[in-house]
Structure formats: C-alpha cells, structure tokens
Structure 1
Amino acid sequence: MNKTLVLLSMFFFKAIVSAQFQPVATPVAEKKVHWRTIHDDKVLDNYYWMYDYFGKGPDSTKVVDYLKAENAYLEISMIGTKKMQVDLFQEMKARIKEKDESLPVFKNGYYYYSRTEEGKQYYKYCRKKGSLDAVEEVLLDIDKMAEGHPYYAASGFAVSENNKLLAFGVDEVSRRQYTIYIKNLETGKILKDIVVNTEGDPCWANDNKTFFYTFKNPITLLSEKIKRHVLGSVKDVIVYDEKDKSNYIGVGKSKNSKYIFIVSRSTMSSEFRMIDALKPNDVFKVFQQRMKDVLYDIVPLVDKFLIRTNKDRALNFKLMECSLNNTNADNWKEVIPHRKEVLLQDIEEFKDFIVINERKGGLVTMCVKNLIDNSEHYLNFGEATYTAYFGANQEYNSTTLRYGYTSLTIPNSTYDYNLLTRDKKLMKQQEVIGDYKASEYVSERLYATAIDGTKIPISLVYKKGFKKDGKAPLLLYSYGSYGSSSDAGFSSTRLSLLDRGFVFAIAHIRGGQEMGRQWYEDGKMMKKKNTFTDFIDCGQFLINENYTSKDHLYANGGSAGGLLMGAVANMAPEMWHGIIAAVPFVDVVNTMLDESIPLTTNEFDEWGNPKNKEAYFYMKSYSPYENIEAKRYPNMLVTTGLHDSQVQYFEPAKWVAKLRATKTDNNVLLLKTNMEFGHGGASGRFDYLKDVSLAYSFLFTLEGIIK
C-alpha cells in the first residue's frame, strides 16, 4: 500500500462525486466529545482535540496525521491539474524579472539597496558609500544564509550611527519569533551578542553600542517588554514592561535620529515614551499618558512635535502641535482641524516640509505643506481607482519625497517628487516580463447599495473584450477588518486570471478604512455583521449588473478575510460557485476565549471579549465554525500553515472537519496545510507562486478552463 493510501486509511471515509475533480474518498475526522459552557450556554465541540498539536496534548500526533491525510486527499482530488499547476507556476514566474535591483535609499552617507539574481529565491542586502559609483558592500547574502532552510525570513535591518554595525532579525520557523544578530561590517564577523524571542526590531542608540528591542512572551507570542542590550553584556535590562495584554508595543528611532520612542497601542488608545538617542541609559519619559478611547502618534520636527490624534471625538483625526518640552495634551494646539469627509492617515516629515497622507472619497491624496512659508499644495494622481503611499524617505534633510503608486492596470511605480519645484520623476516601475500592455485592460469604480442603504465601493479590472452578459467568471476579494484598507493595486500573477476571461473585483466593505474612520467603526465589535452583508450585497450587485452570475461568482479572502469567507458561506452559500479561504479565522468564539493563543488579548476591542455575555452571543451568531448547518455549501479550497502564529492551524482544520460531517452537497471541499510554513506562506520569492497556482487551478477546474 503506497504512502498516500496509508495516510488516508487512518480515517473513516465517505465518497464524493464531482464532475470537475478526481472522485476519491474523503477523510472523516474522528469525533470526541468536548463541551464548552459559558453564560449558561452549552456547546458541543467534536473537533476540539485538534488543538493538541498547538497545546502539546495527547492527540498531537493524530492531529498531524489528519492534516497529512487532508493534504493527500487534495493531491489525489487535484491530480488532473498537476500539469496546469506547473504551467501556471512557470507562466507567473516568467513575468518576474529575476535579476533586479531595488531603488537605492540614502541614509547617513550611504546608499542602501537590495538586489536579486537569476534563479535565486532571496536577495543580497548591499550598500555603497557616498556615490552609486562606489564599490559595493554586500552586507548580507540572504540567498546563502537561507540555504537548507524550508523557511527563512530576515528583517529589521538597522545600521549603527557610525555605520560599522548591522543588527538584524531572523525567523527560521515562520512564527514571527525573531533572533537578533549583530554583524561587524568592518570585519564581516557575526558578534557573540545573540538575542532570542524578539519581534526582530533592533533600534540603535547613538552611542553605537546599545540597542533596544521588543521581547515576546514565548507562549502567547505577545510583545510584553522592551529591553536594552549593550554589546558584550550578559543580561539585558528591561526598560518597559507592558501590563495591559490588549496592547501591542514596539520601539523605534525618530527620522531625525534625535529620539528613541516606545509605543504602546491598542485598538482604542495609544501611549508614547521617549528618551534622547544620545542617552540610552535615561529613563523613558511619558509623552502623554494613555487616555480612554484616544489614539495619538507623534512626529518630531526641529522645534516642536506634531501630534496626529482623534482626541475630543475627532473621528477622522486632526493634527496638533506642542513644544519639545511641554508634551502633555493640555499643551497641544490645533494645526489641522478634524474634517468629516477627510481621514488624516499619516505624516512624512522633512526639515522644511511635511507631507500629509489623507483619504477622501475612498482614495489617497497627499498634501505638501511648506514649514517656512506655510504654503501648501496637493499631488495629482489622475486615475479613478489607485493606491498611493509613502516610499522610503530616510533622509530628514531632503527636499525630495519618494512615493509609490499603483493601480489595477499600472504596475508598482516609484516616483521622486521635488517638494520645491513640484516636478516628479519616475524612478522605477515594476517590470512585467513579456508583452504586458496596460492599455489592454480596463478598470472601473462601481458602487453597490448595502442592505441599510450605504454605498459600498467596488474596484474591478478585466481584459478588453469582456462582455457584460453574465457569463464571465468573477473573483471577488475583500478583507474588511482592523481598519485595513484594501486599495486597488497591480498584481502580475493576476494576469493569469484576467487573460483567461476572469474579472477581478475588490469589495471595499465596512471594517476597512477606505471611506474614513467611521467605515471601520461600522464594521467591528457589535457591528461586525455589516462586513459580511456588505460583501454579499456587492456580489449580488455584480450579478444584477451582469458582470457575472451565481454559476461563475467566486469569493476569496485570507486571515480575517477568511472569517469573511466562512461567514458568507454560511449566510449566502447559494451565491458562490466557489470560495478560497486562506488561513481563515473561523473559530472566533473559542479563540477569543483562550488567552494563551497569540493575538487574542490584543483584539478584544476588534471582536469583543466573549466573557462578556452580549459580546459572546453576538460573536457566536456569526462565527463560521459555530454556524455550520446541514445544507449545501459552495466548492471550497481552504489553506493553512502548521506553524501559523496569527491564525492557528486548528481553526481551519476544525472548520473543514465539521463541514465535511454536516453539509449535504457533493461539492468539493479541500484543505491544504503547509507543514513547514506559517501565516504568510513560503518565504522565497518564487515558492509562493505554487500556492497561487493551486488556487488558480481550483478556479479554472470549476470553470472548465483546461489550460
């Protein structure tokens, strides 16, 4: 008996029949009685045992065996797509410029950049002193460092003020637990100073021997402490210990290199502490103590601090200022008032200018303000739907703003904008190898009407020649949580969909922040169901307008967007021909009840705390795992990672097991677990394309597209 059949034989089976996929017996997970009782509500959870790999329980081995059996089942079910998957991988890989180089960023006398080589999965991190014509220094060869590792991520590159030492973080497991290393850039040697279990965020003081970092709880993976490390020392000093488990913390240096900041932030409030970067042994001083339901960020200028805040019910934020010495809120003075129609998102500071990132009507704008004469003007982007964002602006004394721009048809582009002359220059545009022409594709901005009358923006793109006759396949994507905006951007992999007749659409649903802060407030906590009904209403709108039909409409989302997929599968299963749910957060109640799980306590202000009776029953009313019913469900592909630190593997595994045991249809249900990766999938720049190829093959098979 071969290995695949051995894996499958570990479980009971029930047969499925599908015209599109290889008929094969499905794994049926064992049921074990486990009761959850809270608020006088008793709930049976037959698949709770799947927690045991994470919890190191007695069924740990059985969990891994089940996940492997599901993987084997997927392999057999999709065996007829093997050639298509290989062809799609090669097709998408062929669009990527393999030998490439990032735009150099100037900082403290050096130009820093990364470059990739043909056939290599990773990159080299490099610099040149003073001029781009200078001799190249390869600071880190990530290609070489990653050899022999299924997963390898290096980040947090921080160079000391004297340019002699490089601190960086490495994660070899994909659980976002980084080890910090120090490299002497003069000798090329890695120092003995090694710091484990961090966020991978080293921040140098200006003495060139001290750095600060965020230390994580090894069990919950919460960032709990900020520590100070002095080169050569054995024991690091705790300089900040966060007691509120609902807060995220971090440490960083100001752009002008004068201050080191510690930030503690929850969904609803924030607090900053600071020291002089020249005095790393000083006690961190509180900028302004945390205030209930008040968020603030700070930007230091030469003679004052700028504060972006929602204080005094400034929902879309306003801009304040204070002196360098009197920083408490009583001394804040208004610079830009709150505006109902404009969300103030971010500030990029320079010596003589600030640039304000705003969002109006769902689109990003940038306002340039001259600090010398107080004049201001806006950049003009000129498209109906797009994404614009600040690029790498490391040099405080510069008069050049670097920003990024992309749309559904325009590849990622980097511009340098002269703040004095207002001239812009395209510095680099993502090169799509092949014959890609933006003019062959069309993007649109539409508005669906939600059940409560709210207008929900939709961005979509298709290839010229598309006919609105309801026959085209359409993939509708969204996220809709944490105030994260799903802006319209380019994807070279997406061309493999568009070139085969698919329409791709983004639903800018509530829970994001596309239409301002209220958009987010109306899609979280006790209003979370707006996120799900908005998505369903967008799908129905696209059907009504003949962009597609129920037989050709597909949905896709990941993580919290995977929660969205699970919710709409329960609420409107008849609307979707297929759903792809990536690393889906689908066991909401159980996860939010377990404070040992990473992210749980940080997110009570996003979902609610189920120890509160009202929050519990509201969460239970939409949690995908809790609401599976004996009815027909769409064809579904679900993916997860065994080492996922954001959404643990057992959520999608339990969900799929319960769906298999409950649903009444013969539609395809597949679970793919990456046994070596976590939340973000593979770390190499080509390996992730295998997951995309799998997803696209799933869609194409359902559509009868054979190549």
Structure 2
Amino acid sequence: MPGLDIAAPAAKRVPFTRTHHGDSVQDPYEWLRDKEDPEVIAHLEAENAYTEAQTAHLEQLRERIFEEIRSRTQETDLSVPVREGRWWYYSRSFEGRQYGVQCRAPIASDDDWTPPTVADVDAGTPALPGEQVLFDANAEAEGHEFFRLGTFDVSADDTMLLYAVDTVGDERYTLRVRDLVNGGELGDEVPNTAAGAVLSPDGRYAFYATVDDAWRPDTIWRHELGTDASADVVVHHEKDERFWVGIGVSRSRGYLEVGIGSSITSESRLIPADDPTAAPTVVWPRREGVEYSVEHAVVAGDDRLLIVHNDGAEDFELVDVAASDPAGPRRIILPHRPGVRLESADAFASRVVVEYRREALTRVAVLPLTGDGYGQLRELEFDEPLYTVGTSGNPEWEQPTVRLGYGSLVTPSTVYDWTPDADGVSSELRLLKRQPILGGYDPDAYEQRREWARADDGTLVPISLVYRKDLVQPGTPAPLELYGYGSYEHSIDPSVSIARLSLLDRGVVFAIAHVRGGGELGRRWYEDGKLTRKRNTFTDFVACAKHLVERGWTIPDRMVAEGGSAGGLLMGAVANLAPQLFAGILAAVPFVDALTSILDPDLPLTVIEWDEWGDPLHDPSVYEYMKSYTPYENVPQDARAYPRILAVTSLNDTRVLYVEPAKWVARLREAGAPVLLKTEMSAGHGGVSGRYNSWRERAFELAWLLDVLRAGQEQ
C-alpha cells in the first residue's frame, strides 16, 4: 500500500526457513519477533503513524464517540456493597479518575444482610458511615503508563489486605500486604506472581502462584507473613507442561484448594484450613479427559464434597462424596442431561446454587439443603427472550440471600439479591441496582431477537441481534456488525454495552454469531469447533453472515466483522474464506499466526494450547490441518479483493504476541490488501489500562467501523 515502506532492514531480508514433517516454509517477516530490536520498534511506530494518517479524517468522529461514551456513563458511582465478615465491601469511581477505589464500611449488626444504599454519591464525602478506603488505584498508578490490580484479598479477621499489581502489562504481579488497622505496608513483597493470590483463613499465610518461562502458572507457594520471600515453601509444582495451577479458599473456609487443569483434564488438591502447612491431598487423581470442580458442603450434618464432573457425562453431572473419602461411593445429586451443560454448584450453609446452560441461555437454580439431604431443584425464571444471569459476589457461608448479576442486549447490567424460601418453591428477587445509562436511555427503544443460520452440514447456529426500532426495519438492509469468538468453550452472552450504543443510535444492527467452538449449546458444541473440527468455527460464521444477507438484515458492502484473540483467528480465517461478504474486518489482538506459535513449545502457553488446537509439532496430520486454515499461512498472493482490515494489538501481550498481527499485516499489505495496524506500546492482552484510555481506544475502533459502514458520521 502506498505511503508505508514495509521492507525489512537489509540485514534481515533473508527469509526465516521453518521445516516440519518434510514441509519447508519461508517466512519473510519472522524478524519482527524481536521486540528488543530498535528496528522492530521503529517498524511498529511507523505502522502506528501510518494508521493515524490514514484515519486522520475520523478524528472528530472519534472525539464525538468518546464524549458519547463519557456522557452516558455515571462517572462518580458506587457498586452494590457485598458483605464479608463484619464489613460491607464496595468500589467507588470518580469523575475524571481513571481507576476505581476499593472501600469498606462496617455492618450495622450481625443480622444486617441488606446492602446499604446511597441516594447521592458525592466525590468529596464518604459514601457510607464509617467508610474506610482500602486501595485507591489512582494513587497507586501514579508514574505508571499501565496499571492493573491482580489480587485483592482481605484476611478473615478484617485486619490485612493482600494485593498484587502489574505496572507493565505482562501479567506478572508484585504481591504485597497492607495493614488495615494501623495503616502502612508490611515488609512482605513477592515479585513475579500470577493473579489470584489468597490468604489462609487464619491470616498467617499467603498462598500464591508463579509462572514459568512460558508464562504458565506452574507453582503454588506458601508465604508466612512477616518473613522474607526467600523462605517461601513450594506447596505444589506442576511438571506437566499441559497443566496450569491456581489457589482458592472454599466458601465454608474449611479448605484451601490447589486447582490443577489443562484444557481437557483437571485435578483438585485440598488443604485443611485449620492446618495450612499440611500437604495437599488429591480429591480425584487426574484422568485424561475428565474435568471436575469441587465445593465443600455440609449436608444433613455430614462433611461432603460436591463435584461437578464429566466422567461418563458429556454435559456434566453433580455428585457428592464423603469429604473424608473422596474416592469412595458417589451419590448422584443432579444426573447428566444431554444438552444441558452443568457449569457450577455453589455450596452455602442451607442451599446449593446451580448454574447451567440450556437452549443457548444461562440458567440459575437453587437446591435446598434439608435435614435429610437435598430438596427439589427450582430454576429462576426471567421473561426476556435473551438474557444472561449468574451468581456474583457471594462470599459468606451463612448468608440468607444469593447475589445475582443479570442483563440482556437491552437491559443494562443489573444486580439482584435473591432470597429463596427454605423449600426453594418460591423466592423473592430484590432489585438492588441497574447500571445507570445517562442521557435518557430507553430499553424499549431497542429490540433483541434470536435467529438461526443453517451451516454447511445442516447444523443450526444461533445468532443474537439488537437494533434500534425506529432506525432499523427488519427486511430492509441496514449497516451491521457481526461479532464472533468460538474457542475454549467460551460463550458470548447477551449484555448491554454503553459504547455499542454509538453504533445502534446510528442505525447499525449488532449481531453475535454463536459459532461452534464456544459453549452456548453444551459440550458437543465446543467439541465440534476444536482440534480437527476447527473449520466449523469459521464456516459457521460465514453461514451466519450469509443468513443475515439472505434474510434482508444487511448487504455485504454494509457489513463488518469483529473478533478478538482466538476470535481474531476467526477474523483472519474468514477474511481468507469469504472476503466478498464483508466491507471491513476488525481483528483485536488476533491469533493469526497460530501455526508458528503452536509449533514452538518455548513460546508462552504453547504446550497448554495443544489440547485446544492439536500438536502440529509431533503430529503431521495436525500440522497439515492447521496449515490449511491459519490466516498468515493462507494470505493469497493477490489480496486486493479483501475488505478493509484493522488489526489492533499490544506490545506487552503475553497471550497473543504482537508479532502475529504485525507479520499478518505486513503480508496482507504486500499482497495489496487495504490493511492497518495499531499497536499499543505500553499494554497487554486486555489493552490499555484506565477507563478513559479504554474509552478512547474503543472510540478509535468504532469510528473506523462507522467509516467502513458509511453509517451516521454526520451525527
């Protein structure tokens, strides 16, 4: 493309040659992998300058969208308080500040389970009586271009805060301890930890994970507070490179749990909370292909372990076993139901709350605990055709309520307290807060609906749509954005996006293609979109795009596609499969050089990924299959028929390295594709930190999308 010289420096113009299974491939852009090389940085900065020049005409639109996002957002706000111990914990946000502030206020009495409310949140005063500021990320972030909080755990006696921060974007956090009674920091400091450290219930120890050179969390450590980190003890080291580790505490406070998992296999090891230095004991020894999760429960006076597992149950079932003998007899509590994907069981003193998926929607139900065992499962019902519901913020074992998060494509994020009756037959659902959207947002002005596209093999693929009723007439083509992901059994569930309103209010239809590889329709939906069935993910997305055209929702030159990370791989594959269906493609941190990455076991997370994509390093059939669809490998020599493409990435991303989109864009441009690359030079996989920075980043992307769609620039 004119205006940007993408040629490699003279010393690097000898293509890198890779040979596997008798197949030799020359890669002319592999030199871009070395981010310590000044010439690589210069290349990325030149790409950024070129992208800025090519989008300079959108500057006013970008600023307008940013102001729209900001004007719709209640900048000074308060989250719904969550009770833990003798305090209500909540976060505050303030106009003009990038980050949140973590606070707490004392409960009124032991039976105080009703979250306090604030009629008017004033930035200059405490939100609640007795408010204590625990962590102000704005102050902590001073002097850092990037800032992210990765651990936030208060001791059971309410006196200490364990926290960890990342100031680079590489997801390696420094762990510290703060005295909440006397103020100030303790001397404890542990660098290079993973997110998600916890304190033992007795408050004496911190348990945390560290990562290996491939960025895999591989070791759990025990740190005694007040001692030097050099004396920390290894609790578990995972040698198998396919597995990662994590640490947690049961809601009952009865156990610490070391979780060990790969994409297809898991294992839990428990440590009694009253003996935190004890060696972990295995619940069920790992067995290839068997996944399970564990919850401690007290059922009819007996210590039991609730286990959600897929051993002979594709969509999982719930059993319980004696806590003293996990390998003993299993009692089936909720049997396997094909097509109903059981996801979790949360144990409380008087009930078990179950989450599952049915008919591509999330569900929540309560299973009462009675004097004899278990009562009857009762599902909570909602009246919208599309919605998302799940438990959220329920740390207390004895709490009488269950906190729920709810939303849809038209209903903003909503917080409820659900009070099930003792028998679970009826219940009270109390609205605590609905995300405010300023400027007169009216959910009745928007319509959401579900359609089904027929894939090449006859499979019906769900599509979720939302649009503004007065601007879109079904059957009359409109500008449309089609979003997709389709990997790791991750589902794209319905929710309102404040930023997305800048599209909807300009007459754009937003659609989600729930393609195979995700988890919307159960485990089989996932299995049919991974490994040697990965192509289904791509062809499903194409089928959804064709369906939307055939049904009159849009036309190809007014449709854009968007996906990120593994969804970015989907974008790259779709660009090769069906470029004629789209006017533009937005690929965020895209996994577009997948074959190169999955071939190299020394790269971050590669070996872990073999269960998802296959092992092309050792299996020639996997190598051949991946090579047939990997976007970078399949850019045609003449790509001038491609739609406009925008790829965005981050220099410090440890999950999808910046080099993948950098190489892809270079090859696309060489072939004549109209492509832009934008690299954030001080961020990681999640993009920039700070809400105002994030809004500006999204405004940049939305302005580009609207320009491609020729939609509403005059507004």
TM-score, with structure 2 as normaliser: 0.93
CA shift at 1:594, angstroms?
Answer: 1.4
Partner of 2:354: 356
Partner of 1:324: 323
CA shift at 1:29, angstroms?
Answer: 4.7
- For 1:626, the aligned partner's letter is E
- For 1:121, the aligned partner's letter is Q
Partner of 1:214: 209
Answer with 197-206 or 432-441: which moved more.
Answer: 197-206
Equivalent-residue separation in structure 2 for 1:28 and 1:76 (angstroms): 19
- For 1:591, the aligned partner's letter is S
CA shift digits 1:305-339 (9 cap, x unpaired): 11100002x100001110110001x4222111111
Partner of 1:585: 591
Partner of 1:433: 438
Unaligned runs of 5+ in 2: 109-115, 117-127
Equivalent-residue separation in structure 1 for 2:53 and 2:456 (angstroms): 42
SS of residue matched to 2:44: helix
Correspondence 1:289-688 to 2 at 5 A: 289-302=285-298, 303-312=303-312, 314-328=313-327, 330-372=328-370, 374-420=375-421, 422-465=427-470, 466-611=472-617, 612-629=619-636, 630-631=638-639, 632-663=641-672, 668-688=674-694
Equivalent-residue separation in structure 1 for 2:340 and 2:408 (angstroms): 21
CA shift digits 1:250-272 (9 cap, x unpaired): 00100111100001001111011
Partner of 2:154: 159
CA shift at 1:288, angstroms?
Answer: 1.3
Equivalent-residue separation in structure 2 for 1:678 and 1:464 (angstroms): 38
Equivalent-residue separation in structure 2 for 1:73 and 1:278 (angstroms): 60
Equivalent-residue separation in structure 1 for 2:89 and 2:491 (angstroms): 29
CA shift at 1:702, angstroms?
Answer: 2.1
2:175 equivalent to 1:180: yes
In structure 2, relative to structure 1, the CA distance for the partners of 1:470 and 1:594 (3 Å cut) is farther
- For 2:322, the aligned partner's letter is S
CA shift at 1:595, angstroms?
Answer: 1.7
2:283 equivalent to 1:282: no
CA shift at 1:470, angstroms?
Answer: 4.8
Unaligned runs of 5+ in 1: 1-13, 16-23
Partner of 1:38: 20
CA shift at 1:222, angstroms?
Answer: 1.1
CA shift at 1:589, angstroms?
Answer: 0.9
Partner of 2:50: 73
CA contact (8 A) 1:543 1:549 kept: yes
- For 2:377, the aligned partner's letter is E
Partner of 1:6: none
CA shift at 1:551, angstroms?
Answer: 0.9
Equivalent-residue separation in structure 2 for 1:301 and 1:703 (angstroms): 54
- For 2:51, the aligned partner's letter is L
CA shift digits 1:606-637 (9 cap, x unpaired): 00111111111111110000000023211011
SS of residue matched to 1:252: strand
Partner of 2:125: none
CA shift at 1:25, angstroms?
Answer: 4.6
CA contact (8 A) 1:468 1:546 kept: yes
CA shift at 1:429, angstroms?
Answer: 0.6
Partner of 1:113: 90
CA shift at 1:39, angstroms?
Answer: 0.1
Residue number among 105, 123, 134 corresponding to 2:100 in the alignment:
123
Equivalent-residue separation in structure 2 for 1:209 and 1:375 (angstroms): 40
Answer with 601-610 or 153-162: which moved more.
Answer: 153-162
SS of residue matched to 2:289: coil
CA shift at 1:599, angstroms?
Answer: 1.5
CA shift at 1:382, angstroms?
Answer: 1.3
Answer with 546-555 or 420-429: which moved more.
Answer: 420-429
CA contact (8 A) 1:32 1:49 kept: no
Partner of 1:240: 236
2:132 equivalent to 1:137: yes
CA shift at 1:703, angstroms?
Answer: 3.0
CA shift at 1:669, angstroms?
Answer: 1.0
SS of residue matched to 2:57: helix
Residue number among 37, 48, 56 corresponding to 2:30 in the alignment:
48
Equivalent-residue separation in structure 2 for 1:681 and 1:301 (angstroms): 39
CA shift digits 1:332-387 (9 cap, x unpaired): 22111111121101112211111111111111122211111613311011111111
CA shift at 1:139, angstroms?
Answer: 0.7
Equivalent-residue separation in structure 1 for 2:322 and 2:22 (angstroms): 55
CA shift digits 1:495-518 (9 cap, x unpaired): 100111100000010000100110
CA shift at 1:27, angstroms?
Answer: 4.2
SS of residue matched to 1:118: coil
Equivalent-residue separation in structure 2 for 1:429 and 1:521 (angstroms): 36
CA shift digits 1:56-104 (9 cap, x unpaired): 5xxx111100000000001111111111111111111111111100111
CA shift digits 1:504-559 (9 cap, x unpaired): 00001000010011000000001000000000000000000010001111100000
- Percent identical pairs in the alignment equals 40
SS of residue matched to 2:68: helix
- For 2:432, the aligned partner's letter is M
Answer with 25-34 or 362-371: which moved more.
Answer: 25-34
CA shift at 1:207, angstroms?
Answer: 2.8
Equivalent-residue separation in structure 1 for 2:53 and 2:32 (angstroms): 23
Equivalent-residue separation in structure 2 for 1:238 and 1:38 (angstroms): 38
2:218 equivalent to 1:224: yes
CA shift at 1:467, angstroms?
Answer: 2.1
CA shift at 1:681, angstroms?
Answer: 0.9
CA contact (8 A) 2:560 2:709 kept: no
CA shift at 1:145, angstroms?
Answer: 0.9
In structure 2, relative to structure 1, the CA distance for the partners of 1:568 and 1:470 (3 Å cut) is farther
Partner of 2:121: none
CA shift at 1:593, angstroms?
Answer: 1.3
Answer with 459-468 or 555-564: which moved more.
Answer: 459-468
Equivalent-residue separation in structure 2 for 1:123 and 1:42 (angstroms): 51
CA shift digits 1:389-441 (9 cap, x unpaired): 11111111112111111111000001111111501111011000111100111
- For 1:311, the aligned partner's letter is D
SS of residue matched to 1:263: strand
2:70 equivalent to 1:63: no
Answer with 624-633 or 640-649: which moved more.
Answer: 624-633
CA shift at 1:469, angstroms?
Answer: 4.7
CA shift at 1:168, angstroms?
Answer: 0.6
Partner of 2:112: none
CA contact (8 A) 1:26 1:73 kept: no
Partner of 2:59: 82
Equivalent-residue separation in structure 2 for 1:456 and 1:555 (angstroms): 17
CA contact (8 A) 1:32 1:47 kept: no
Partner of 2:119: none
- For 2:557, the aligned partner's letter is D
Equivalent-residue separation in structure 2 for 1:300 and 1:429 (angstroms): 32
Partner of 1:706: 713
SS of residue matched to 1:626: helix
Partner of 2:260: 264
